[in-house]
Amino acid sequence: MPPETDTRFPPLQKDQVLASLPPIWPEELAEGIRDAVRQGARKLMVLDDDPTGTQTVYDIPVITEWSVERLESELQDSSTAFYVLTNSRSISETDAVALHQSIAANLRTAVARLEAAGVSPPTLSIVSRSDSTLRGHFPAEIDALQAALGPYDAVFLIPYFAAGGRLTIDDVHYVAQGDWLLPAAMTPFARDAVFGYRSSHLREWIAEKTAGRVSADDVASIGLDELRRAGPATVLQRLRELPAGSICVVNAVVERDLEVFVRGLLDAEAEGRRYLFRTAASFVAARLGLAPRPLLDGKTLQFGATNGGLTVVGSYVPCSSEQLQQLLDGESVVPIELDVPSLLDVNRREETERAATTDINRHLGASRDVVLYTSRQLITRAGAEANLETGRIVSEAIVRIVRRLDLPPRYLIAKGGITSSDVATRALGVRRALVLGQILPGVPVWRLGPETAYPGLPYVVFPGNVGGPDALAKVVAMFQRPEAEGGKWT
């Protein structure tokens, strides 16, 4: 359902509004945050509802299954964080709740087993990482974690994401588009067939999503004035004063804003308080105090195969379609379109998949780079469950095609959160991968583990809503072999 325009929150001229804000907090805080994390023996467990949440970190593992044994192993690993890829944005709310209950039960058992063996588990903080444009199973997933692992002193909502231009000012969440900041409810993301919403004001968004169970007036917030003028000590005091079980919005425009919040947060946690977080990707890096690292490029990654590379585009958001078109216009890849109406027809599905598989194998064997993409006309049906089912059918077709590859691709790029998750787990067999870093801001690269179909393969998890019009073409160009001249294969 399209959102109604809320005239209280019009689009803002980006440079003008940013110039009007107070100066950022002057003290560098990341090193102190890193020290506090190490000294407190703290570990972050990030439940990621699609794999794009790794878009701000590096040298951190991602697991795709959550058995007791796997969680025991990760709790004892030396890394300060690990991601659990739930992919819950692709399933129903009921299934998402059950999934989170299962993870929580296994986590409790893993901790108990370590303690019984005389091993002290780390102090664990749980982050529910979701979409920076407010799509996902909220509050259902948070409620499930509260019930299973709580009580928590407060829940923080932090959708700020720097690389995607998602900023929160005066409790209103904005999406940067060119020279403008557009309130989130005025963007196509708010029209999502499953996760749509009407409110850009985050306290009102919480009231909307909780169907009034939590009123906007009862939601606390930490504003930019506090973060920039008062600093971590004031943040600590605010956290001490939050009513038990409250929800709090955190505003942020730059990374330093998050660091100020995190510095106060760590002090509050050191006093024994427990918090739960619903955030976008930027929070995790700030919470760990990760130092900046240069972007990856095609020269720094190792490519084992000499075949063509494969790009898979399943995302339908306008950003993805625009990037796909620029890639196709460059004529540096062989285009193979997967017709969605044919996939929805049970009599045509198998033939459609077979034809695509045959073509991809032929071109990869000839060292040509290929892009497999779904037809761009969005097919919508009545009801959230029906739309989720359509997405599952399309995703299953992509998975079957990638499974049937005869040759290892030189690289694999998956465009879209659900697409990249399903390809990783169901087509490639990923159980544990390592985040190497980012190839572009907000675009992570994984190194696949030995259990996968293609061990060591560079796997690019390309979010659907990140990057400019030429971003996908840029990444493909970085990965292409030297014999590709002038952008076209010879």
The amino acid present at 187, given as its one-letter code, is T
Instruction: Summarize pLDDT for 419-469 with one digit per residue, the tens.
Output: 888 999 999 999 999 999 999 999 999 999 999 999 988 899 998 888 899
Instruction: Summarize pLDDT for 476-485 with one digit per residue, the tens.
Output: 999 987 554 3
Can you read off the two tokens belonging to residue 237? 């005091």
Question: Would the pLDDT of 266 be above 90?
Answer: yes
Question: Would the pLDDT of 1 be above 60?
Answer: no
Instruction: Summarize pLDDT for 339-375 with one digit per residue, the tens.
Output: 888 888 888 889 889 999 999 999 999 999 999 998 8
Question: Would the pLDDT of 488 be above 50?
Answer: no
Question: Would the pLDDT of 85 be above 80?
Answer: yes
CATH superfamily label, 310-479: Four-carbon acid sugar kinase, nucleotide binding domain (3.40.980.20)
Can you spell out the DSSP letters for 278-324? Answer: EE-THHHHHHHTPPP-PPP-TTTS-----S--EEEE---SHHHHHHH
What does the pLDDT read at residue 304? Answer: 66
Instruction: Summarize pLDDT for 15-67 with one digit per residue, the tens.
Output: 999 999 999 999 999 999 999 988 877 899 999 998 888 999 999 999 999 99
Q: Which of 165-174, 336-345, 384-393 has the highest mean pLDDT?
A: 165-174
339: closest CA among 289, 378, 374, 369?
A: 374
What does the pLDDT read at residue 482? Answer: 58
Instruction: Summarize pLDDT for 94-135 with one digit per residue, the tens.
Output: 999 999 999 999 999 999 999 999 999 999 999 999 999 999
Are 167 and 174 in contact by the 8 Å Cβ rule? The answer is yes
Question: Would the pLDDT of 167 be above 50?
Answer: yes
pTM value > 0.85? yes
| Pairing, β 458-462 against β 443-448 | antiparallel
Can you read off the two tokens belonging to residue 38? 């190490």
The amino acid present at 437, given as its one-letter code, is G
List the chain domain ranges.
12-288, 310-479
Q: Which residues pair with 387 in a beta bridge?
A: none
Give the burial class of 15: count Cβ atoms within 10 A of its Cβ; 0-12 exposed, 13-18 middle, 19 or more buried. exposed
> Which class in CATH covers the domain with range 12-288?
alpha beta
Can you read off the two tokens belonging to residue 105? 């039960």
